[in-house]
Structure 1
Amino acid sequence: DQSWTVIQALAERHAWITGIDLMRNYGQHNALLCGIRAAKHAVIVTMDDDLQHPPAEIPKLLAELAKGYDVVYGTPIQEQHGLWRDLASQVTKLALQSAMGIQTARKVSAFRAFRSEIRRAFAHYNSPYVSIDVLLTWGTTRFSAIAVEHAPRRFGKSNYTLRKLIIHTFNMMTGFSALPLQLASLLGFAFTGLGGLIFLYVIGRYLIEGGSVPGFPFLASMIAIFSGVQLFTLGIIGEYLARMHFRSMERPASVVRQVIRHKEHIQEFQK
């Protein structure tokens, strides 16, 4: 869509603009992390580039930040997304609130203002799985949210599909929380208890009626359920092991191809 060409032109025209071109599309949060680390001023503002977050609303975030908060979210008065996108967004926020204990998670948005000092909390974070909102909780508990306008999308279509939002939620849950493992443990305990009750039922029928207890389909279905729970739990454990493997390889969150500043081209590569 010629975005980089436009960024180059703006960076060469305005001294206060720096353009960063990544080697490939690493995802929104990975790209944001790269930009956050390159920022040079006391306050960082993140927003979408499709003007659904009106720049005129930025002073509201800064005014709220001046009250002593470290992070302020611009919560849309009325979101201008489709039904499925809104539903997936709410599920993601619910996951943030339940897994990470973030009380303002239901008001989280991509329109944020926060103090640059917070990035020291994740200065050494190096993983391909990034959630900016979780990383911000590593540095502060002073969160706030304020209502802002949310304009309808004028051009193009959002790259955030329902599938991508579900994947992001799953990555966030398994990458920054032990909640999935805890849920797997609860499932294990629940089905262990269910198995004990079935065993008591079988023994009781045997003692009362004598002979074998009928119901092979019932037993077969229970075995299938237990096997499914075991495979589900192994899948969660495998996901955590895979993330540990990726971290041991030191796979970066992003790699910079080029940095453009006012009237000069600087080649840099991020380690």
Structure 2
Amino acid sequence: MSHSQHTDNSMPLIAHLTELRTRLLRIVVTVLVVFAALFYFSQDIYALVAAPLRAYLPEGATMIATGVASPFLTPFKLTMVVALFLSMPIILYQIWSFIAPGLYKHEKRIAVPLMVCSVALFYAGMAFAYFVVFPIMFGFFASVTPEGVEMMTDIGQYLDFVLTLFFAFGVAFQIPIATFLLAWIGIVDVTTLRKSRPYVIVGCFLVGMLLTPPDVFSQTLLALPMWFLYEIGVIFGGLVEKKRRPEDASSDEQQPPVQP
């Protein structure tokens, strides 16, 4: 056991709780500072998020606010969520700083790249939703609006809708991390992951059906990237297994032969 682990394990419970409180306070302060910096631009941020839908609204149509306080509360809520998303690297760093002393050296070596990749993939999932999925989805919705019906979306309902999709795509883009971890820890080997491919494809479409609106376009646009990301995770999991095999073989060679 390393010296850092020894000191960490012998640290009393009160010290752990104090450390945890400090980390949580730093997270809250970070989110509030980012929120304060963005609050002045809250209307612009909402306009940016609403742009994919507004591009497909009929000429002369606008978004509406059915709640009395919606014009203020909806951009406020969006700005808070944006502040939380932008603070994610610092939030993860604080979590990492809290758990790192209890990890082994080889665990620390793999954890940092995984955390960086996780944040990057979450942002990539949100960007994919905004730039690829939203234009196709809202274009489809606008095209199937019945005759005589004016398409005027409530700003609060729209925000809840897009935040759900942002979160769904952000989480879905974590699949390579999850697949890699399963292979790295040894819970599932890569051969099993490859054999599970048909079930995974069906599962991706089921998740797409549950997390997106009831149209084939948005379901497929979530399911296909999930499948693609699963395959990436399987490839990296295979590389980990190949790297581990020589290490296992060398450790076997070092062991003395069993006497009959």
TM-score range, shorter chain: under 0.3
TM-score of the pair, normalised by structure 1: 0.24
TM-score, scaled relative to structure 2: 0.24
Higher relative contact order (CA 8 A, sep 6+): 1
Higher helix residue share: 2
More strand by share: 1
